Amino acid sequence: MIIGVDYYPEHWDRALWRSDADLMQKTGVRVVRMAEFTWCRLEPRENEYDFEWLDEAVGIFAERGIRVVLGTPTNCPPRWFCEKYPDALPVGRDGRRNPIGIRGHRCYNAPDFLEHAKRLLERMTKRYADNEAVIAWQIDNEPEANFCFCKKCIEKYRAWVKRKYDSLENVNRAYGNDVWSGEYSSWEQLDPPFGDYPSAWLNPAYMLDFSRYASDDMIEYVQLQAEIIRRNCPGTAVTTNVWFCENMPDFYKTFERLDFVSYDNYPPTRLPDNPEEYYSHAFHLDRMRGVRRQSFWVMEQLSGGLGCWSPMSRTPAPGMISGYSLQAFARGADTVVHFRWRTAVSGAEMHWHGLIDHSNVPGRRFEEFARLCRTAEELADLRGTEIRSEVAILCSTDSEYAFKLQPQTNGMYYREQLQLLHAAFTKCGLNVDVIGEREDISGYRLVAAPELYVTDSDVVKKLYEFAENGGTVILTNRCGVKDEHNNCIMSPLPAPYRKLAGCRVLEYDPIGYDRVPVRFEDGSVFWGRQWCDILQEETAGVLARYDGEFYKGSAAITENEYGSGKVYYIGTVGEKKLYDRLVPDILRKCGIEIIPGLPDNVEITTRTGADIEARFIFNNTGRQQTFLLDGGELCLQPFEMKVERRQRTL
Ligand code: GAL
Ligand code: ZN
């Protein structure tokens, strides 16, 4: 495992660069990422470039055996540029140009921006092409799907729709534009969603396509940079860093043609009081591993209390800095880069804390980080090991977009049911894959496909085949609701999955913040929340029924035999304990071995290599936990990670 830090030489007096690098070397930092916001230093005046300072910084790290990731500085064009080319600033939903001085002030499609960005990138990539210290490039910084509404972007949006549908008739049909006199009679009528209206007031088919366009358009921008880097620096890895932002791109497509996934990981520093609340980043980390189904990087990792655009959060409790970094490793990261070395003393992020405080006196968090670096060295041989899993959760970008566009009921959001299932699998001590809905699933025993709300017919077919051939499938409420355009399907729910599930939805009750009891055959009762599908079993048997409301006695959870497999349908969004009651049984029935009796928030994963196997046992709580594992008693301190190794005999 490799530990790195994000470093901003441009923020510090040069005198500090060497002493910082010395301390990094001594501490065990192996990688630094830098330069992603430095355009105005690299091109202080139009066509006048200055790379010397960056050469020096890279050199200082290289001399100390520390490798460098260079960010392309395109996130923030300099003021002289914006002043001269105001059309390169992005336009918001209100039709106004964004101001400079914050960041991300560039339109991905502005010709002047692209021309200048390409010119800078050509120089920068050529300059570091033969520099062995530079091991990877990060494109831009946290690029988001393109929600710029400038003239150029509107043209690109129209062209995207035209390519997809060919004719306006096809668009009108796909979007169901007969509602509210919405039919287009010329391409110029296709505008982005201007104005501050809730997205749910706009046509959902149009809005889903707009989200898809916005993601594709960002990917085009990223690829444009990737091509320059690859041409000039063949053999150097190319990535970009993502997080779960509001305008999230499709991660699967974003990374398809990059070399590895990078994720910015900031777990909460204050754990929720409500034990039902899901706070572990285990799901996000598994999801990032699932994007390319291979190991990934954390490009920014929690190092101190967060702040700036929000009031400051609590400082990480003892154990958190190291524990959360190791948690990422346990779930498939090979490199974790901490954000940031030292807290900025100026600028809007001065309260987003790094490893070292403003005082520049290394303290408690730094000491913990130093111990983490030593642990990482001890785990070096586990680099390249894999996380093998018999269980997968399917993740659908379209469904996530569509859920966001039309909130289904109060308190309901796409990720929750996925996380609840993930937490229940995790509590059984299993590795869990979270993968794109379009991935091959034939290698798994169990596939959970929660809330596949927007239907992709290939996915439907795949799930039928999977069950036919003996696989176990978990479906849930809101599966099969929409066609591929985000229009409703005129057929009893779960429409395309009805035969597979062996049940139909007679009616549904979006209960929002209300709760309805759900009773299992053995008499145990749990809360159903947010949503109740009132189920009519067809070929399926019933595992649990509603125990309240006018549908008391109706099926809530069913089990169907399909082909040589089994299919479960969960009609509600249960409280956490409901899944802990249901999931172990399902796992046992499909022959997956579980570790029973693990306490909540103890997370176990296994990484497997050719001749070694390492089991990671993580106490993701702020209290000491003692529990039985393999017949022995194990005691873990708050956020402690224990790693057990075993030679594998082949
Ligand atoms: C990330 C971003 C960094 C920094 C950090 C802390 O999202 O990539 O540049 O802003 O958050 O605020
Ligand atoms: Zn634009």
Residue 180 binned pLDDT confidence (cut-offs 50, 70, 90): very high
- Evaluate: CB of 142 within 6 angstroms of ligand 1: yes
From atom 6 of ligand 1, which residue's Cα is the shortest distance away? 352
CA of 76 to the centre of ligand 1 (A): 13
- Evaluate: CB of 141 within 6 angstroms of ligand 1: yes
CA of 6 to the centre of ligand 2 (A): 29
- Encode pLDDT of 341-358 as tens digits: 999 999 999 999 999 999
- Encode pLDDT of 119-130 as tens digits: 999 999 999 999
The chain-wide mean pLDDT, for the chain, equals 97
| Closest ligand, as measured to the CA of 353 | 1
pLDDT higher than 80, residue 650: no
Please tell me the predicted confidence (pLDDT) of residue 275: 85
Residue 563's region, left for phi above 0, alpha for psi from -120 to 50, else beta, is left
Catalytic status, residue 63: no
Residue 24 binned pLDDT confidence (cut-offs 50, 70, 90): very high
Q: What is the mean pLDDT of residues 519-541?
A: 98
pLDDT higher than 90, residue 232: yes
CA of 353 to the centre of ligand 1 (A): 11
The rounded percent of the chain whose pLDDT value lies above 90 is 97
Q: Which of 264, 303, 353 to mutate to test the pocket of ligand 1 (most atoms within 8 A of CB)?
A: 264
Which of ligand 1's atoms lies nearest the C-alpha of 349? 12
Q: What is the mean pLDDT of residues 621-643?
A: 97
Tokens encoding 211: 């989200």
Entry pTM: 0.97
Other beta carbons within 10 Å of 509: 20
Classify the C-alpha dihedral 148-149-151-152 as positive or negative. positive
Q: Which helix (H) or strand (E) holds 154?
A: helix 151-165
- Encode pLDDT of 139-179 as tens digits: 999 999 999 999 999 999 999 999 999 999 999 999 999 99
Beta partners for 558? 542, 569
Q: Which of 36, 43, 144, 300 is catalytic?
A: 300
CA of 73 to the centre of ligand 2 (A): 18
CA of 259 to the centre of ligand 1 (A): 22
Q: Distance (Å, rounded) from C-alpha 387 to C-alpha 154?
A: 43
| Closest ligand, as measured to the CA of 313 | 1
Please tell me the predicted confidence (pLDDT) of residue 198: 87
Protein residues within 5 Å, CB atom, of ion ligand 2: 107, 148, 150, 153
Q: What is the mean pLDDT of residues 483-510?
A: 98
- Encode pLDDT of 28-72 as tens digits: 999 999 999 999 999 999 999 999 999 999 999 999 999 999 999
- Encode pLDDT of 550-600 as tens digits: 999 999 999 999 999 999 999 999 999 999 999 999 999 999 999 999 999
Q: Which of 300, 302, 343 to mutate to test the pocket of ligand 1 (most atoms within 8 A of CB)?
A: 300
CA of 253 to the centre of ligand 2 (A): 21
Q: What is the mean pLDDT of residues 91-99?
A: 93
Amino acid (one-letter) located at 171: V
Burial 14-31 (b: 16+ CB within 10 A, else e): eeebeebbeebeebbbbb
Q: Which of 139, 141, 342 to mutate to test the pocket of ligand 1 (most atoms within 8 A of CB)?
A: 141
Which of ligand 1's atoms lies nearest the C-alpha of 299? 8
Which of ligand 1's atoms lies nearest the C-alpha of 243? 7
- Evaluate: CB of 144 within 6 angstroms of ligand 1: no
- Encode pLDDT of 532-544 as tens digits: 999 999 999 999 9
| Closest ligand, as measured to the CA of 138 | 1
Kind of pairing, strands 612-619 and 641-647? antiparallel
- Evaluate: CB of 36 within 6 angstroms of ligand 1: no
The full set of domains in the chain, from first to last, is 35-259 (3.20.20.80), 391-589 (3.40.50.880), 602-647 (no CATH)
Cβ atoms of 627 and 640 closer than 8 Å: no
Q: What is the DSSP string of 592-639?
A: ----TTPPTTEEEEEEE-SSEEEEEEEE-SSS-EEEEETTEEEEE-TT
Torsion angle, alpha carbons of 11, 14, 20, 25, to 10 = 120
- Evaluate: CB of 138 within 6 angstroms of ligand 1: no
| Closest ligand, as measured to the CA of 148 | 2
CA of 114 to the centre of ligand 2 (A): 11
Cβ atoms of 583 and 424 closer than 8 Å: yes
- Encode pLDDT of 398-429 as tens digits: 999 999 999 999 999 999 999 999 999 999 99
Q: What is the mean pLDDT of residues 500-505?
A: 98
- Evaluate: CB of 8 within 6 angstroms of ligand 1: no
Catalytic status, residue 300: yes
Which of ligand 1's atoms lies nearest the C-alpha of 309? 12
